[in-house]
C-alpha cells in the first residue's frame, strides 16, 4: 500500500478559520475513502459517486491524488488520474475542501503538491472540467495557471444535452505546459 507516511508538512495558514492545527498534504490511503465521500456529499456541489468509488480511488489512484489533513483529520482532497491516451496529462477528477476550511489556501496547496509530485512522472499538463457557475473552482484553476506561468485553454467538453439527468455543461480547462524546476548541480 502507498502513502504510509506524509509526503510533506507545511504550517497551516488558516488562521481566519480558527484552526490551530498543522496542515499536512498526504497521499490517500483506503481508510480515507469514507471521508472523501463525506466531503463530496457535504459540498452539495460535486457529483456524489458511490462510496465504493472513493475506496477504489484511494487504493488504485493514490499516487495521482492527495488529501489534506489537520491534526490527522481529512479536510480536503483532490482525486486524479493520468490520462491513458495522454501520459503527459493529469486529469483532476474532483477537488473539495470541507466548508470549515475554505478560503485558507487548502485547495491551492493540494493542487500545488499534486502537480509537483506528478512532474516527476513526466506530466506537463493538467485537465479538469468546471461548470460555468463555479466561481471558486474557476479562480482556483486560473490561479494555478498564473502561479505556474502556464497557458490555460478553455473549451466545451461535455455539453448539457449529453447528460441524461439535469446537469450543467462541463467546460474543459487545460493548463500547461508546466515548467520543471532546473536541477542545480552541487557546488555550482
Ligand atoms: C473550489 C474549492 C475546492 C476551493 O477550495 P479552497 O481551499 O477554499 O480554495 P483556496 O483557498 O485554495 O483558494 C483558491 C483560489 O480560489 C479563490 N476562491 C476561493 N473561494 C472562492 C469563492 N467562494 N469565490 C471566488 N473565489 C474563491 C481564492 O481567492 C483563491 O484565489 P487566488 O489563488 O487567486 O488567491 C472549494 O470552494 C470547494 O470545496 N467547493 C465545493 C466543491 C467544488 O466546487 N469543487 C470543484 C469542482 S470543479
Alpha helix (H) residue ranges in the chain: 33-43, 51-60, 106-119, 135-147
* Residue-level length of the chain: 188
Q: Reduce the DSSP state of residue 26 to 3 states and report it.
A: strand
CA of 123 to the centre of ligand 1 (A): 23
Work out which ligand 1 atom sits closest to the CA atom of 130: 48
Tell me, using a 6 A CB cutoff, whether residue 108 lines ligand 1: yes
Q: For residues 130 and 134, give the distance between their C-alpha atoms in angstroms, rounded to a whole number.
A: 7
Tell me, using a 6 A CB cutoff, whether residue 43 lines ligand 1: yes
**Per-residue pLDDT for the chain (188 aa), expressed as one digit of tens each?**
333 333 334 444 433 344 458 999 999 999 999 999 999 999 999 999 999 999 999 999 999 999 999 999 999 999 999 999 999 999 999 999 999 999 999 999 999 999 999 999 999 999 999 999 999 999 999 999 999 999 999 999 999 999 999 999 999 999 999 999 755 555 43
- Beta-carbon contacts of residue 164 (< 8 Å; ≥ 6 apart): none
Name the residue ranges covered by the structural domains of the chain. Answer: 8-176
Tell me, using a 6 A CB cutoff, whether residue 137 lines ligand 1: yes
- Beta-carbon contacts of residue 25 (< 8 Å; ≥ 6 apart): 6, 7, 8, 10, 66, 67, 68, 109, 110, 113
In 3D space, the residue among 120, 126, 122, 159 whose CA is nearest the CA of residue 142 turns out to be 126
pLDDT in tens, 55-84: 999 999 999 999 999 999 999 999 999 999
- Beta-carbon contacts of residue 24 (< 8 Å; ≥ 6 apart): 6, 8, 9, 10, 68, 69, 70
Work out which ligand 1 atom sits closest to the CA atom of 99: 39
CA distances from 97 to 14, 84, 104 (A): 12, 27, 10
Residue 118 near residue 82, CB atoms below 8 Å: yes
Tell me, using a 6 A CB cutoff, whether residue 96 lines ligand 1: yes
Q: What are phi and psi of 146, to 5 degrees?
A: -65, -50
CATH code given to domain 8-176: 3.40.630.30
Amino acid at each position: 500500500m502507498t502513502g504510509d507516511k506524509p509526503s510533506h508538512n507545511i504550517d497551516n495558514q488558516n488562521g481566519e478559520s480558527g484552526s490551530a492545527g498543522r496542515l499536512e498534504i498526504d497521499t490517500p490511503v483506503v481508510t480515507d475513502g469514507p471521508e472523501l465521500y463525506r466531503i463530496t456529499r457535504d459540498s452539495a456541489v460535486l457529483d456524489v459517486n458511490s462510496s465504493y468509488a472513493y475506496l477504489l480511488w484511494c487504493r488504485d489512484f493514490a499516487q495521482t491524488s492527495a488529501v489534506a489533513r489537520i491534526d490527522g483529520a481529512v479536510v480536503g482532497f483532490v482525486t486524479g488520474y493520468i490520462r491513458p491516451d495522454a501520459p503527459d496529462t493529469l486529469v483532476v477528477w474532483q477537488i473539495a475542501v470541507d466548508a470549515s476550511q475554505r478560503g485558507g489556501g487548502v485547495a491551492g496547496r493540494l493542487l500545488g503538491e499534486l502537480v509537483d509530485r506528478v512532474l516527476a512522472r513526466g506530466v506537463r499538463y493538467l485537465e479538469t472540467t468546471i461548470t460555468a457557475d463555479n466561481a471558486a473552482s474557476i479562480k482556483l484553476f486560473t490561479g494555478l495557471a498564473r502561479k505556474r506561468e502556464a497557458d490555460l485553454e478553455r473549451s466545451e467538453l461535455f455539453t448539457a444535452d449529453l447528460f441524461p439527468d439535469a446537469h450543467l455543461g462541463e467546460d474543459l480547462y487545460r493548463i500547461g505546459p508546466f515548467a520543471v524546476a532546473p536541477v542545480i548541480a552541487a557546488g555550482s
